[in-house]
A and B are shown apart, each in its own frame.
Chain A
């Protein structure tokens, strides 16, 4: 379909002129092909690599009778229990058979569990925030790798923040689990662990507000 625009003038005077071919090439097929290829690449491309959240679970003791829960300071202990229907319960301190603490009901919203954890973890949270602010402003210049290791140091040095024990009840969804781990990351909790519910807490769950 290459177009040739003929020069029709100057026919009558008998001179033989060299035919002028126009250089215009029909690019339609080329455009078609390119369109196809672009569509193909656009559809098969995965732009953002998947992100991952890292968790480390405590090593399992093969013999359950030998497993001893590490001692947790009573004043720092916070237990978060994930209940059905996106409900989150928590209580401070440790549960004893003779004086069961009552569960406080909350949820995954901004003013839910996050508010409570932030309040408890304020010293460390502020420290980390200040540190990040400094880097942002350029007061502290560090290579990217050492930033995370510095943050780790800050976390390890934390002596007052809560120790959060995360316990999941029977019928929760995977989403709830990821959400609570995420809350730990958001509120910069230095120490947390995923553990199983004990019989006392099962009792407390029954009495908890629905």
Chain B
């Protein structure tokens, strides 16, 4: 009687095709990637048929969340030497008599969107990592002092816009608001912008195709 041989060899799979495929995918992703910018709040934008792409340079972005809090973001201009963010922060510091150290200004030029009164911006910059900044933002939210102040008593948003326009007069303005944001709030922001002579806006929307048929 012949015994059934038991294979005690380890099962060996040839992984070469798998590695090939993975290498291809990896190359593809590495070449096509543009990193998703960090968002200060979750904003669900409304849909439109517009296919115009948002410019990625020379744009001042105002995000407005569901509750009407305003977040401010600005890029550094067409190249790294222009450092618009740093210049705007310096001017804001002068306006509000807040001294920012050169290191803080340098760090600020590398950061993204924020939504808080100028008095807290220094603290925000000093956080070591993005998680710390998120935490600070949350903390301010709990104390109900998040968002850039837009009321007439201390309209910091107007100053931010004013200085940004002073430093880059060709800057475009993008507004990204949530579907459920009250129009009143958006209107107020539009009014502030119009007071600063901005009359053209880019509203961020999701692309949605619409078929239109004309009845005869």
Please measure, in the bound complex, the distance between the C-alpha atom of A180 and the C-alpha atom of B29, giving whole angstroms: 38
Q: Which residues of B contact A48 (CB under 8 A)?
A: 207
- Contact: A168 with B187, CB < 8 Å? yes
B164 within 8 A of A: no
- Contact: B12 with A182, CB < 8 Å? no
Please report B residues at the A interface, Cβ cutoff 8 Å: 10, 12, 15-16, 18-19, 22-23, 25-26, 29-30, 32-37, 45-54, 56, 64, 174, 176-187, 190-191, 194-195, 197, 199-207, 210, 212, 214
B12, B19, B179, B180: the one within 8 Å of A31 (CB): B19
Q: Which residues of B contact A30 (CB under 8 A)?
A: 19
Distance between A41 CB and nearest chain B CB, rounded to angstroms:
4
Please report A residues at the B interface, Cβ cutoff 8 Å: 3, 24, 27-28, 30-31, 34-35, 37-38, 41-42, 44-60, 82, 114, 118, 122, 125-126, 129, 168, 170-179, 181-182, 185-187
- Contact: A182 with B49, CB < 8 Å? yes
Q: A51-B204, A54-B200, A175-B180 are in contact. Are A31 and B34 (CB under 8 A)?
A: no
Between A and B, 13 residue pairs with Cβ closer than 8 Å are: A31-B15, A51-B52, A51-B204, A51-B206, A52-B50, A52-B202, A53-B48, A56-B200, A57-B201, A172-B183, A178-B48, A178-B203, A185-B48
Please measure, in the bound complex, the distance between the C-alpha atom of A174 and the C-alpha atom of B188, giving whole angstroms: 12
- Contact: B50 with A38, CB < 8 Å? no
B53, B190, B210, B214: the one within 8 Å of A52 (CB): B53
Please measure, in the bound complex, the distance between the C-alpha atom of A50 and the C-alpha atom of B36, giving whole angstroms: 11
Please measure, in the bound complex, the distance between the C-alpha atom of A146 and the C-alpha atom of B45, giving whole angstroms: 30
- Contact: A45 with B199, CB < 8 Å? no
- Contact: B202 with A175, CB < 8 Å? no
Known pairs A45-B36, A51-B206, A57-B190 / 18 extra A-B pairs, C-beta < 8 Å = A37-B26, A41-B33, A49-B53, A51-B204, A52-B50, A52-B54, A52-B203, A55-B201, A168-B187, A171-B182, A172-B183, A173-B179, A175-B179, A178-B46, A178-B179, A179-B46, A185-B49, A186-B212
